[in-house]
Amino acid sequence: MRRSVAGRVVGCVVGAAELARRDIVRPRLAVWVGRAEIERGLLVGARIAAVERVGKQLIIVAEDGRGLGVHLGMTGQLLFDAAGGGAAGGGAGGVARVDRKHTHARWTMVRDDGVRGAGSVKGGVVGEMVFCDPRRFGKLRPLGDAAARAELAARLGPDALAVTGEQLHAALAKSQRAIKGALLDQRVLAGVGNIYADEALFAAGVNPRRLCVRLRRGEYDAIAAEVVAVMTAAISAGGSTLRDYVDADGKAGEFAARHRVYGRGGLACVVCGGTLNAGVVGQRTTVWCGVCQRVRGGVRAGEQGGGRKLRMGE
């Protein structure tokens, strides 16, 4: 996602921006906040210097120091609609269509010809970046300066692409929570969600209901290594598209076809052939193999196989 957005907007100047729904901005906009302040928050007038990523959110960084955090939530999309017919996905990619009904913000990107300031931006329109999100769990977060960006990053745990067993062990060794829920906590580990938590725990052979305090150091090493491996493989495949996700070019990800447990409750384990369990752990639907992810010490007697109701896979 970061790469596709960067490829489209870095070097562009934000000529204009429009916020159709104020409630997607965090922190919440006070009622008296006006157009000028909103446009400042949406980087109007600035040249895009870079697109970074902090955990699950993108940070669009402007040359003047402003930043804008974009979190897609569950159904969000950040699409680039190129001017003059070359719409997002028009090339080798997908066929993404901008969902007008749920377009909550849009930015007009113009070519940066070096003429800036004085309120008017010269140069032709390159296209529009649009933020769509039917469920509106996604959010936009204006970040005034580098310090605000640093503050955001400081609230998050180590990044999923570089996490180590030592880091997880240090954060969780005394915790009474189930490991699954802990991996979803962005203060513990930044970037892993429900799909990849299940996939990484399966790959590591660790039962999602095990309590953190009972995990051995070697198990933290295995979990960290598998988090890195799963995330790396998923990114190479363009992510997991279940329904809505596409990159800025409208291209869907291919990793869902390679999920080994997520979405496969009730189906056969690809390793041992047993039936995969499905249940709720840490308030989220969780799928695991009771054989490959056996609880040795025991979570509690009788809970080894775990899952309550089995759901047929998609």
Partner DNA sequence: CGTGGCCCCTGTGGGC
Partner DNA sequence: TGCCCACAGGGGCCAC
**Site residues (vs DNA, CB under 7 A):** 23, 55-56, 71, 73-75, 101-102, 134-137, 175-178, 181, 184, 186, 193-195, 212, 240-245, 282-285
Q: How far is the CB of 133 from DNA (least distance, A)?
A: 9
- The DSSP string of 180-234 is HHHHH-TTTSBS--HHHHHHHHHHHT--TTSBGGG--HHHHHHHHHHHHHHHHHH
Q: Where would I find the H helices in 47-145?
A: none
Rounded Cα–Cα distance for residues 123 and 290 (Å): 60
Using CA atoms, how far apart are residues 279 and 309, in angstroms rounded to an integer?
7
Maximum C-alpha span of the chain: 72
Q: How far is CA 181 from CA 72, 126, 141, 193, 208, in A?
A: 21, 43, 25, 10, 8
For DNA, which is the closer residue by CB, 35 or 309? Answer: 309
Closer CB to DNA, 108 or 186, in the complex: 186
Q: Which is nearer to DNA, 114 or 243 (CB)?
A: 243
Smallest distance from DNA to CB 309, Å: 7
**Smallest distance, DNA to C-beta of residue 299, A:** 11
What is the amino acid identity at position 225? A
Query: DSSP letter at 102?
Result: G
Choice between 126 and 200, CB closer to DNA: 200
Instruction: Give the residue from 33, 34, 78 showing the smallest Cα distance to 56.
Output: 78
Output the smallest distance, CB 73 to DNA, in A. 5
Q: How far is the CB of 256 from DNA (least distance, A)?
A: 9
Report the alpha-carbon distance of residue 100 to residue 68 in Å, rounded.
22
Write out the DSSP string of 126-194: EEEEEEE-SS---EEEEE-SHHHHHHHHHTS-SBTTT--HHHHHHHHTT--SBHHHHHH-TTTSBS--H
Minimum distance between the CB of residue 278 and DNA, rounded to whole angstroms?
A: 8
Q: Which is nearer to DNA, 101 or 296 (CB)?
A: 101
For DNA, give the closer residue by CB, 111 or 311: 311
Whether 160 and 189 have beta carbons less than 8 Å apart is answered as yes
- Other CB atoms within 10 A of residue 74 CB: 16
CB of 193 vs DNA, minimal distance in Å? 2
C-beta of 294 vs 309, nearer to DNA: 309
| CB 122, min distance to DNA, A | 38
How is residue 43 written in tokens?
């980087």
The residue (of 55 and 142) whose beta carbon lies closer to DNA is 55
